Structures are given as C-alpha cells and as structure tokens.
C-alpha cells in the first residue's frame, strides 16, 4: 500500500514538474523571441532559441522518467532504469546542436566585421534578459529540488539545462547592454559565450549518462560508506569483496562476507539475509545486492 502511494506521489511530481517546465519555457520563449525581434537583438533571439530547446528537453526528460519507471517484464527482467540515461543523452544532443547553431551565427557575424546593419538593441531586449535570468534560475532550483526527491538523472539534466539558459541570458544581458552603449560587436559575441556555456553543460550531461550506461562503479566515498556498514553488521567477521556498478540511477552490489565457520548453513544464511535486507533499507538506490558467504 505504501509502495503504491509512493508511486502515485512520484507520478504526480513528474507530471507537475513537466507541466511547469514546458509551459514556463513556452511562455518565456515567446516573450524573448518577441523582445529580440522588437529590440533588434541577435543575442536575445539566440537566447529564445535556447529556451525553445528547453521545451523539447523537458518533454524528453518526462518521457525518459516515465518509461524508466515501468516494471520489469520477461524481455527486460532487470527493469527499464537505463531509459533515463538514454533520455539524458538525447538532452545532451539537443543542447549540442543548439549550442553549435547559436555559436556559428555569432561567429559568422564577428568574422564579417560589418556591424553597420546592426541596430542598437532596444530596452525591451534588456528587460527580457533580466526576466529570463530570474525565471530560469528559479526553474533550475525548482527542478533540481524535485529531481533529488525523485533521484532522477534526466530531470537533474533538465535542471542544468535551465541553469545553462540562465547563464546564456547573463551573456545576452552583457551583450545587449554593451551594444546599447555603442559596442555592437558585443551582441554577436554574447551568442558565442552562450554557445560555450551550452556545450559545457551538454558534455557534462552526456558524460554522466554514459558512465551510468557502462556499469561504472560507484564513487569511492559511497563504497567506503557501504563497506563500513556491512562490516558492522551482526555476525559479519570481515568483508572479503565488494563490487558496485551503476544501472541507470540504481546500484547493483556484489559482496562476499566472512562469518563464523562453525555456524550451520541456516544461521550463516540468516546473517547474509540480514545484511541483504538492511543494505537495501539503508541505501534506497540499491537495485539488487548479491551476498556470498565465506567461512571465517
């Protein structure tokens, strides 16, 4: 009953998070695009394109998390957790394409060196940049908060996508402000700076997802904490072996423990069962733990 209630709460959070992310980005994209066109700012138009990519990013994160929550079946006995990693990789690809497109546009304008056709941005573009910074930073903290509760890599990637948009809006603010003060080169230069921020976030998201797809071991700190907990478990004489591997956002654990060699098979098995059950309670991201018993 508790598990069903937890699943329903998670589903509500996922739906709410996705709705806020998609609607927020659609409204912000429309506002920034309008401000960029009216205010004659290439940087703000680039920023609007980045926000538009956030709409697709949030939808993909939502889809990835929904699919990853599917129960195990005969074809996928270990579940569907890695689909969240696939969603994160798609997000990274969207960010990469968006960043390259924005960067190339800015570089072409700078290389051309002719800024006579560029009008000084209007005040509305400057206001849009400030509104975007505040809104996207708020969305970053909001999405990050729920991504932690859901232990979701895809939504965490989406949160950093919001943060990258906030950073890009800072670049827009500087570029627009500089262009208004008589330095038109700063507007396309801001687009290049935005591109660099986006590419950095894309790389980080892709690397994190790839590590989880390749059964990478958990951090040294995590393994030390886990090993210390097992060693202190009732009946465990020593820990002979410990291996961990990431499976999406979950962890597989293989451990060999040594117990008193004079114990009966039944008693030795009971100790192993206690360790198994207690580790799953203490470390809730454990997908499965296999315990092998050695005589001490």
pLDDT higher than threshold 80 for residue 190: no
Share of the chain above pLDDT 70, in %: 93
Where would I find the H helices in 39-82? 42-68
CB atoms within 10 A of CB 113: 7
Least confident of 104-108, 136-140, 199-203, 212-216: 212-216
What is the band of 188 on the pLDDT scale with cuts at 50, 70, 90?
confident
Residue 63 sits in the same domain as residue 187: yes
Q: What is the pLDDT of residue 232?
A: 93
When divided into structural domains, the chain yields a total of 2
Q: Which of 192, 213, 234 is the last residue of a domain?
A: 213
The whole-angstrom separation of Cα 296 and Cα 262 is 9
Start-to-end CA span in the chain (Å): 41
Residue 237 sits in the same domain as residue 183: no
The whole-angstrom separation of Cα 25 and Cα 9 is 24
Mean pLDDT: which of 127-136, 153-162, 164-173, 213-222 is highest?
A: 127-136
Please check whether residue 87 is in contact with residue 60, taking contact to mean a CB–CB distance below 8 angstroms. yes
For residue 76, give the 3-state DSSP assignment.
Answer: coil
pLDDT higher than threshold 50 for residue 1: no
What is the band of 241 on the pLDDT scale with cuts at 50, 70, 90?
very high
For the full predicted model, state whether its pTM sits above 0.85.
no
pLDDT in tens, 265-274: 999 999 999 9
For residues 117-133, give the mean pLDDT. 82
Residue 83 sits in the same domain as residue 164: yes
Share the mean pLDDT of the chain: 83
Please check whether residue 44 is in contact with residue 176, taking contact to mean a CB–CB distance below 8 angstroms. yes
pLDDT in tens, 94-103: 878 878 887 8
Please check whether residue 255 is in contact with residue 291, taking contact to mean a CB–CB distance below 8 angstroms. yes
Full residue range of the structural domain in which residue 277 is found: 220-295
Q: What is the pLDDT of residue 258?
A: 95
Residue 158 sits in the same domain as residue 90: yes
The whole-angstrom separation of Cα 124 and Cα 40 is 10
**Structure-token pair, residue 51:** 């926000």
Q: What is the pLDDT of residue 262?
A: 92
Residue 257 sits in the same domain as residue 242: yes
What letter would DSSP give residue 79? Answer: -
* 44 DSSP β-pair partners: none
For residue 59, give the 3-state DSSP assignment.
Answer: helix
Q: What is the pLDDT of residue 5?
A: 67
**Which CATH number characterizes residue 21's domain?**
1.20.1510.10
Residue 12 sits in the same domain as residue 149: yes
Mean pLDDT: which of 23-32, 39-48, 148-157 is highest?
A: 23-32
Least confident of 28-42, 57-71, 174-188, 246-260: 57-71
Q: What is the pLDDT of residue 6?
A: 66
Residue 33 sits in the same domain as residue 117: yes
**Structure-token pair, residue 295:** 């005589």
Residue 174 sits in the same domain as residue 243: no
Share of the chain above pLDDT 90, in %: 24
What is the band of 2 on the pLDDT scale with cuts at 50, 70, 90?
very low
**Which CATH number characterizes residue 240's domain?**
3.30.70.1350
Place of tokens 């990013």: 57
User: CA torsion, points 54, 6, 142, 91, in degrees to nearest 10?
Assistant: -20
């Amino acid at each position: 009953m508790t598990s069903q209630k937890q699943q329903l709460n998670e589903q509500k959070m996922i739906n709410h998070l996705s709705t806020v992310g998609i609607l927020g980005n659609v409204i912000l994209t429309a506002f920034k695009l309008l401000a960029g066109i009216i205010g004659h700012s290439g940087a703000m138009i680039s920023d609007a394109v980045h926000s538009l990519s956030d709409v697709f990013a949030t939808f993909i994160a939502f889809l990835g998390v929904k699919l990853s929550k599917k129960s195990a079946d005969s074809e996928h006995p270990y579940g569907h957790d890695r689909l969240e990693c696939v969603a994160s990789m798609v997000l990274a690809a969207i960010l990469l394409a968006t960043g390259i497109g924005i960067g190339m546009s800015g570089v072409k304008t700078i290389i051309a060196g002719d800024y006579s056709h560029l009008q000084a941005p209007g005040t509305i573009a400057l206001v849009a940049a400030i509104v975007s910074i505040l809104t996207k930073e708020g969305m970053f903290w909001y999405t990050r908060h729920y991504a932690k509760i859901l232990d979701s890599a895809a939504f965490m990637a989406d949160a950093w996508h919001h943060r990258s948009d906030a950073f890009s809006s800072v670049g827009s603010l500087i570029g627009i402000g500089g262009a208004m003060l008589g330095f038109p080169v700063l507007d396309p230069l801001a687009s290049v700076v935005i591109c660099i921020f986006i590419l950095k976030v894309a790389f980080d998201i892709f690397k994190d997802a790839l590590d989880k797809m390749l059964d990478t071991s958990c951090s040294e700190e995590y393994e030390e904490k886990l090993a210390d907990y097992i060693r202190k478990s009732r009946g465990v004489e020593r820990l002979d072996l410990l291996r961990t591997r990431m499976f999406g956002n979950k962890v597989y654990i293989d451990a060999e423990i040594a117990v008193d060699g004079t114990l009966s098979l039944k008693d030795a098995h009971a100790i192993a069962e206690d360790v198994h059950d207690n580790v799953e309670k203490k470390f809730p991201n454990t997908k499965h733990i296999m315990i092998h018993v050695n005589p001490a």
